[in-house]
Structure formats: C-alpha cells, structure tokens
Amino acid sequence: MNLEPVEILQIVTNALETLEPAAVAKGIALLRSLPNEPRMAKLDPKRCQQIIWNLVSNALKFTPQGGSVTATMKYESDGFELRIADTGKGIDAESLPHLFEPLWQAEGSASDGGLGLGLAIVRNLVELHGGSIHAESSGTGQGATFILKMPWSGSRNQVGLAQTNQAHQ
C-alpha cells in the first residue's frame, strides 16, 4: 500500500468513467450523485480505484438491461461514504453475512463468471485503509447497496499488511 494525498472525487469519477462503456453496452444507466467540491484524502490511489471498480463492476454484472447503478458519495467529518446501489437481482438475507468471505458465492452466481474472490479482496483493501464496507438488500429481485466508508487518512494495518505481503511472495 502506498498512502499518498489523492483527490478522492477524481478517483471515484475515473472509476465510473472507465465502466461507463460497459454500462452502455449492457443498457444500464450508470448514475452519479457526487459532491461538487474536491477533497483530499491520504489513501492508496490504485487500491481505491480497484475497490470502486470492483463494486461498480459487480453491480453492473447483476443488474439486467434497463436497470440502473447509482454511485452516491458524501463527505463526513471523519471521512467519506460511497454507496453503490443497483436495481439488480438482489441478495437474500441468508447470503448477506457471507458476501465478503473468500470463495463464497451465492447460489446461481457462479454462472456469472466470478471466482468468489472480488468482494473478499475489496474488504481486505478497505480494512487496510482503516475503512469499513457492508451490503444491504431487501431480498431477491430488490437490488443491492454496498456502503463503503473510508477515513480521510488511511491507516496501515501492519498485521494485515504483513500477512497480505507474505501471501503474495
């Protein structure tokens, strides 16, 4: 992790612009409700981009043609909150607690091409920054919302970082 001052609104905007062609190709509206003013945060820009890209990609994957994915960001005193909400197939109550477990996939989602690692990686990267993430859904067919909360100044979780580095060696 390389923590450095970054303009978080630009990171979010770049991730959304990268995924816009995929949304258009699938016939999904990629909507934004973002602050007007930029704010600086001390985070790893590549990892933040990866987190946002993964969340939006998943939302696009599980949203049918004609649906929408909305990215809503707000600034708070201790950091920022980013919500990625979709009108997709939703998540049943039994699956919600397992979403961020490595290699876990909801019934029927393996056919969508994932390995069950993306959300586990997202959670790890978010926690290494000192942030949190969780998901909400009213159930199957009701869409889902992923809520990401990140501090203005990421904190290196040295134990988690050391374990991550060892796993990649």
pLDDT bucket at 101, cuts 50 / 70 / 90: confident
pLDDT band at 115 (very low <50, low <70, confident <90, very high): low
∠ CA 163-166-168, rounded to 5°:
115
Domain segments of the chain as ranges: 4-167
CATH class (in words) of the domain with range 4-167 = alpha beta
Report, as an integer, the average pLDDT of 130-143. Answer: 94
Distance of CA 92 to the CA centre of its chain: 19
The per-residue pLDDT for 104 is: 62
Q: What is the pLDDT of residue 114?
A: 60
Q: In this structure, which amino acid lies at residue 49?
A: Q
Q: How many CA atoms lie within 13 A of 2 on its CB side?
A: 4
| pLDDT of the residue at 29 | 98
pLDDT of residue 110: 47
Bridge pairing between strands 29-33 and 4-7? unpaired
Q: What is the mean pLDDT of the chain?
A: 87
Q: What is the pLDDT of residues 27-38, one digit of tens each?
A: 999 999 999 999
Rounded to two decimals, the pTM is: 0.85
Question: 59-68, pLDDT tens digit by residue?
Answer: 999 999 999 9
Full 3-state SS string of the chain = CCCEEEEHHHHHHHHHHHHHHHHHHHCCEEEEECCCCCCEEEECHHHHHHHHHHHHHHHHHCCCCCCEEEEEEEEECCEEEEEEEECCCCCCCCCHHHCCCCCCCCCCCHHHCCCCCHHHHHHHHHHHCCCEEEEECCCCCCCEEEEEEEECECCCCHHHHHHHHHHCC
Query: What does the pLDDT read at residue 34?
Result: 97
- What integer is the mean pLDDT of 21-26? 97
What integer pLDDT is reported at residue 169 of this predicted model? 40
- In whole angstroms, what separates CA 46 from the centre of its chain? 13
pLDDT at 98: 85
The pLDDT, as a whole number, for residue 112 is 57
pLDDT at 164: 42
Q: Which two tokens stand for residue 152?
A: 């203005």
